[in-house]
């Protein structure tokens, strides 16, 4: 005989995952009077310790402000009206603001976004269960789905109307869509990134993407005093293969002299290796369960689209759920896959394009290198090409 759960809970939307996507969805629903419960596998400290990028699109910033989450963003976020492409020993600036009619990007770390969301959820008295183990969705194709999980050694059941899977690429949500109706598209790149965080001023007030025969470079920042650098590296490399001296030397070799001269070296305070891949799973829903964020798609970090895509997913899903509860309108729920995937694929295309444009592919020969150079020359020499680039970089409309 199956043992009955020790504790039974009820909510309107059960959310798997307490990262930015799950927290933002809960926040937006709460503001509209829709109840939710978040189940997170890790501790809060672990969630907040995860180091992620933080280049926010215009639409992401606008949504956060509209949701009452813009105070610290506006105080501490670094507003970037342009971005720089370096190649063949020169640097070309793309004026994002001028080319898009006033849109910009803002550098604001994902950890800060998560902190802001946690503070908002705490203030609202949100129900969040951390260290929820073995979360399992049930009956998702019925009108009475529910989630089971273990917490502090006891079994629990969470009854809900809908389930939102915001639990990342390795979460349970996507696996609940039958393989017979699930299509997965993946591209693995033949290199990774070695990333270094250092307490040194960045070499430029805006991001620099650099293409070089030795490999790609990204010069970014967390603040005006903390730099974030990435180098294209072999897939088999580890952080131990890149002591600080080697990293700084390689970084300077790959940058134009006018940029390398401004690089200030310092001891790394964090170092990591990131493999690059593009991944999209279709559909993003099954019955009354919906995927959002990394649960349904992964993009290489070159275009800084990962967190922004999670935000757009959450916007579409929250709008759909709110319309359902306010007006009994199921249109948004039925069109979620179409709306979300349309934007996902456009961002996946841009991320793939920027990755292939700026990285070195040593096994693809001289012809590819010549075409790559020609494409870069065309991009920075054509207002139309720069406008298309800028529109994608600041973010397509939500």
Residue numbers annotated as active site: 80, 209, 301, 305, 393
Question: Which neighbouring-strand residues pair with 93?
Answer: 84
Q: How far apart are CA 37 and CA 17, in angstroms?
A: 10
Pick the closest to residue 65 from 28, 119, 16 (CA basis): 28
Residue 51, classed as helix, strand or coil, is: coil
- Beta pairing, strands 82-87 & 90-95: antiparallel
What single-letter DSSP state applies at residue 1? Answer: -
Map residue 29 onto helix, strand or coil: helix
Percent composition of the chain: helix, strand, coil (DSSP 3-state, to 5)? 40, 30, 30
Number of Cβ atoms within 10 Å of the Cβ of 192: 21
Contact, 161 vs 333, CB < 8 A? Answer: no
Residues 291, 280: Cα–Cα separation, whole Å: 11
Distance CA 156, CA 298 (A): 31
CA nearest neighbour of 228 among 110, 64, 103: 110
Pairwise CA distance, residues 303 & 349, whole Å: 10
Instruction: Judge whether 19 and 293 are in contact, CB under 8 Å.
Output: yes
């Amino acid at each position: 005989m199956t043992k009955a759960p020790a504790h039974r809970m009820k909510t309107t939307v059960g959310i798997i995952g307490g990262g930015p996507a799950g927290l933002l969805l809960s926040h937006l629903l709460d503001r509209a009077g829709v109840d939710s419960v978040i189940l997170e596998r890790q501790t809060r400290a672990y969630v907040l310790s995860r180091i992620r990028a933080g280049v926010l699109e215009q639409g992401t910033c606008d949504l956060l402000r509209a949701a009452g989450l813009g105070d610290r963003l506006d105080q501490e976020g670094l507003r970037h009206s342009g971005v720089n492409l370096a190649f063949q020993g020169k640097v070309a600036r793309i004026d994002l603001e001028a080319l898009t009619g006033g849109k910009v990007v803002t550098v604001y770390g994902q950890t800060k976004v998560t902190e802001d969301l946690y503070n908002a959820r705490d203030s609202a008295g949100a129900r969040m269960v951390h260290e929820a183990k073995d979360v399992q969705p049930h009956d998702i194709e019925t009108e009475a789905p529910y989630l089971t999980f273990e917490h502090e050694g006891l079994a629990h059941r969470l009854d809900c109307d809908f389930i939102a899977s915001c639990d990342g690429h390795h979460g349970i949500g996507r696996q609940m869509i039958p393989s017979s109706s699930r299509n997965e598209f993946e591209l693995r790149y033949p290199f990774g990134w070695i990333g270094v965080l250092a307490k040194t001023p960045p070499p430029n007030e805006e991001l620099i993407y650099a293409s070089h025969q030795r490999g790609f470079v990204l010069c970014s920042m967390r603040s005006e005093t903390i730099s974030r650098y990435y180098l294209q590296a072999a897939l088999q490399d580890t952080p131990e293969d890149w002591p600080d001296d080697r990293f700084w030397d390689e970084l300077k070799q790959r940058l134009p002299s006018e940029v390398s001269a401004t690089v200030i070296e310092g001891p790394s305070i964090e170092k990591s290796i990131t493999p690059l891949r593009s991944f999209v799973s279709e559909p993003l829903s099954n019955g009354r369960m919906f995927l959002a964020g990394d649960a349904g798609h992964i993009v290489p970090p070159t275009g800084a689209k990962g967190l922004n895509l999670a935000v757009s997913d959450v916007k579409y899903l929250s709008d759909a759920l709110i319309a359902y509860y306010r007006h009994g309108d199921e249109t948004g729920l039925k069109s979620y896959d179409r709306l979300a995937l349309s934007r996902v694929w456009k961002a996946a295309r841009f991320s793939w394009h920027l990755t292939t444009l700026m990285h070195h592919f040593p096994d693809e020969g001289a012809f590819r290198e010549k075409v790559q150079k020609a494409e870069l020359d065309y991009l920075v020499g054509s207002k139309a090409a720069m406008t298309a680039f800028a529109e994608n970089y600041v973010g397509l409309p939500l």
